[in-house]
């Protein structure tokens, strides 16, 4: 009972924090408020570029997005992939409300408990920067494998990136439960009889709230460091994708 109470408290704290983030007004998406221009104009297009390079050629996809936030990038993904079905979820009622206002099929759901969906319900299950926020990442991974028929895709925080780990100690990042993991740990979360294969690739040396006057230099530096074999695993992000055993 003690561990369950602690987990319930953590989840309540996270939901309140996310509601506050998603409730901000104006025409800027929540990613801008959380990371600044570098997150919206550089990191997000990189995430989506990888997603589109892998799945744009797939026809008649049914897609489930976890932790979709306010739905800003969900609209972009839906427009680009042209899926047969697209469902977006989030743990925040505020976020779900904003997604529904934008015309998305949005559901209130915890990424670690997708019991509202049957086994093998979607061709692709994906998320962007979600798993390092949840209390039970292994449970989220297994739920992703359960509800997908074939593909899963994540962009995640790299737990062996030293600057990334230091950022997680700040009150701001701790307020939303951030805890990144090593590539080996992420792979282990998906292990089991239902896993077909998984691949992990490091990328991105740009960090939140890079000042605008440094934006161009930060982007050029990030792109250059990604190509240095001895340093690339210090990238702050990981591309994780794979398939379920058929």
pLDDT score recorded for residue 214: 96
- Judged against a pLDDT cut of 70, whether residue 14 lies above it is answered with no
The closest of 105, 125, 90 to 19, measured between CA atoms, is 90
Percent of the chain having pLDDT more than 70?
Answer: 92
Q: What's the pLDDT at 117?
A: 97
pLDDT at 10: 39
At residue 222 the predicted structure's pLDDT band, cuts being 50, 70 and 90, is very high
pLDDT tens column, 36-49: 999 999 999 999 99
pLDDT, residue 25, reads 61
Distance of alpha carbon 54 from alpha carbon 36, whole angstroms = 27
Dump pLDDT digits (tens) for 143-185. Answer: 999 999 999 999 999 999 999 999 899 888 888 889 999 999 9
Over the range 63-95, which residues count as b (16 or more CB within 10 Å of their CB) and which as e? Answer: bbbbbbbbbbbbbebbeebebeebbbbbbbebb
Domains and CATH numbers, the chain: 2-244 (3.40.50.150)
d(CA 130, CA 65): 10
- At 38, list the tokens: 């570098």
CA-CA distance, 195 to 183, in Å (whole number)?
Answer: 16
Rounded Cα gap, residues 130 and 148, in angstroms: 17
Q: Show the tokens assigned to 136.
A: 């039970």
d(CA 177, CA 10): 8
List, as one string, the DSSP characters of 229-244.
TTTGGG-SEEEEEEEE
First to last CA, the chain: 38
Instruction: Decide: 120 and 148 in contact? Cβ < 8 Å.
Output: yes
User: CA-CA distance, 184 to 187, in Å (whole number)?
Assistant: 5
The most confident of the ranges 20-34, 107-121, 167-181 is: 107-121
Identify the pLDDT of residue 93.
92
Give the angle 102-209-88 at the CA atoms, nearest 5°.
Answer: 25
- The two three-digit tokens of residue 112, written as one number: 């670690």
Alpha-carbon torsion (92, 97, 101, 104), positive or negative: positive
């Amino acid at each position: 009972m003690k561990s369950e109470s602690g987990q319930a408290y953590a989840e309540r704290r996270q939901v309140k924090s996310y509601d506050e983030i998603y409730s901000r007004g104006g025409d800027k998406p929540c990613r801008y408020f959380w990371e600044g221009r570098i997150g919206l104009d550089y990191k997000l297009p990189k995430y989506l570029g990888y997603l589109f390079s892998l799945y744009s050629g797939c026809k008649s996809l049914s897609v489930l997005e976890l932790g979709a936030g306010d739905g800003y990038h969900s609209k972009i993904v839906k427009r680009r992939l042209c899926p047969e079905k697209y469902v977006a979820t989030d743990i925040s009622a505020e976020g779900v409300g904003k997604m529904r206002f934008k015309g998305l099929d949005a559901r209130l759901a915890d990424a670690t408990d997708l019991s509202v969906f049957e086994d093998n319900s979607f061709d692709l299950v994906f998320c962007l920067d979600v798993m390092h926020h949840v209390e039970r990442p292994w449970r989220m991974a297994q739920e992703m494998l359960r509800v997908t028929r074939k593909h899963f895709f994540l962009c995640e925080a790299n737990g062996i990136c030293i600057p990334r780990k230091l950022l997680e100690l700040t009150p701001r990042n701790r307020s939303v439960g951030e805890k990144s993991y090593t590539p080996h740990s992420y792979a282990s979360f998906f292990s089991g009889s239902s896993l077909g294969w998984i691949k992990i690739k490091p990328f991105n040396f740009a960090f939140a709230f890079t000042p605008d006057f440094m934006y161009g230099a930060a982007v050029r530096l990030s792109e250059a460091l990604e190509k240095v074999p001895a340093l690339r695993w210090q990238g702050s992000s990981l591309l994780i994708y794979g398939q379920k055993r058929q």
